């Protein structure tokens, strides 16, 4: 892992960062192959870098985190150069479909509905939808969410499930998880439903909020490619299998997430 970070850092120092400046998207090229040569071409990854520890902006304004490192390891295996673009979570699938990006790694949950428009790789991690409330909240279980104002990140499974279970009128959508949590801290919503790992990061950064000790839904995270792009799907699955086998994926996850 040291090698990866050093490689990323040297790319930053080499001034490889690229800002597109359009549509608020932020693209950065990161080390893929050690040679720096892109014989295998460029792997254009899309993500939403407001989902720590899977993806976040580091102090150099580069996308860092579990997904960025896994993607860098995959690109390395495939001899490709990795380029990461940050965008809204609900723009990711459209970006795949319009061939703006080749792959999504964004803590994206495998769902049947999404699988109608994209092809998912094998899963590389799991997530749990949890409920964040202010300390002392009357909400103590998912049943208590009925009739409450629930903050979610637009287009995520938390949004989809809460809208289905508790009604659109009770769900307030935010552009990202941090904004949903800020609204909770300000009393604009009664709770936030979001994935457990970002929830931990957001609660750690905000006084007076707690994660309920009750799981809402458990999910599998996978990378996604455009529907029918079996060539890339097969290559990524093969690279991922090798990276699971040799312990690379566990090591990357373990660097950011310590077992509870
Ligand atoms: N796992 C959730 C989903 O796929 C949230 C992902 C995210 O916000 N990056 O909808």
Q: Each residue of 47-77: pLDDT tens digit?
A: 999 999 999 999 999 999 999 999 999 999 9
pTM of the shown model: 0.85
What's the pLDDT at 94?
98
> Which residue has the least CA distance to atom 5 on ligand 1?
156
Q: How far is the CA of 109 from the centre of ligand 1 (A)?
A: 6
pLDDT the model gives residue 67: 98
CA distance 85 to 103: 10
Is the sign of the CA dihedral 210, 127, 156, 64 positive or negative?
A: positive
Q: What's the confidence (pLDDT) of residue 258? A: 82
pLDDT for res 259: 66
Query: Pocket of ligand 1, candidates 67, 128, 153: which has the most ligand atoms within 8 Å of its Cβ, to mutate?
Result: 153
For the stretch 8-26, pLDDT in tens is 333 333 333 333 333 445 6
| Maximal C-alpha separation, the chain | 58
Q: How far is the CA of 194 from the centre of ligand 1 (A)?
A: 8
Distance 191 CA to ligand 1 centre (A): 17
Can you give the pLDDT at residue 40? 80
Q: How many CA atoms lie within 13 A of 70 on its CB side?
A: 36
Instruction: List, chain by chain if needed, residues with CB within 6 Å of any ligand 1 atom.
Output: 48, 51, 89, 106-109, 127, 153, 156-157, 195
- pLDDT tens, position by position, for the chain (260 residues)? 333 343 333 333 333 333 333 344 566 665 444 444 456 899 999 999 999 999 999 999 999 999 999 999 999 999 999 999 999 999 999 999 999 999 999 999 999 999 999 999 999 999 999 999 999 999 999 999 999 999 999 999 999 999 999 999 999 999 999 999 999 999 999 999 999 999 999 999 999 999 999 878 899 999 999 999 999 999 999 999 999 999 999 999 999 998 65
Give dist(CA 255, CA 4) in Å, integer: 12
- Strand pairing class (103-104; 191-195): unpaired
- For a mutational test of ligand 1's pocket, the pick from 114, 115, 158, 159, i.e. the residue with the most ligand atoms closer than 8 A to its C-beta, is 158
Beta carbons within 8 Å of 159's beta carbon, 6+ residues apart:
152, 153, 171, 173
């Amino acid at each position: 892992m040291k090698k990866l970070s050093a490689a990323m850092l040297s790319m930053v120092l080499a001034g490889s960062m690229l800002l597109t400046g359009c549509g608020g998207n932020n693209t950065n090229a990161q080390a893929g192959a050690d040679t720096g040569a892109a014989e295998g071409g460029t792997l254009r990854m899309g993500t939403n870098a407001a989902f720590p520890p899977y993806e976040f902006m580091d102090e150099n304004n580069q996308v860092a985190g579990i997904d960025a490192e896994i993607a860098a390891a995959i690109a390395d295996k495939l001899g490709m150069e990795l380029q990461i673009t940050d965008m809204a979570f609900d723009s990711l699938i459209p970006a795949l479909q319009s061939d703006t990006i080749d792959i999504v790694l964004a803590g994206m949950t495998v769902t049947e509905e999404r699988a109608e428009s994209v092809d998912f790789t094998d899963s590389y991690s799991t997530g749990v939808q949890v409920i964040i409330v202010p300390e002392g909240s009357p909400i103590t279980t998912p049943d208590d969410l009925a009739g409450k104002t629930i903050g979610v990140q637009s287009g995520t499974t938390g949004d989809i499930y809460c809208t289905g279970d508790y009604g659109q009128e009770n769900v307030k959508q935010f552009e990202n998880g941090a904004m949903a949590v800020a609204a909770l801290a300000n009393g604009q919503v009664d709770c936030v439903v979001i994935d457990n790992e970002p929830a931990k990061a957001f609660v750690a950064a905000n006084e007076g909020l707690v994660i309920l000790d009750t799981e809402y839904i458990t999910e599998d995270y996978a990378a996604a490619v455009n529907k029918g792009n079996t060539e890339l799907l097969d290559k990524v699955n093969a690279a991922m299998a090798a990276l699971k086998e040799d312990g690379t994926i566990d090591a990357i996850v373990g660097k950011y997430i310590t077992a509870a």
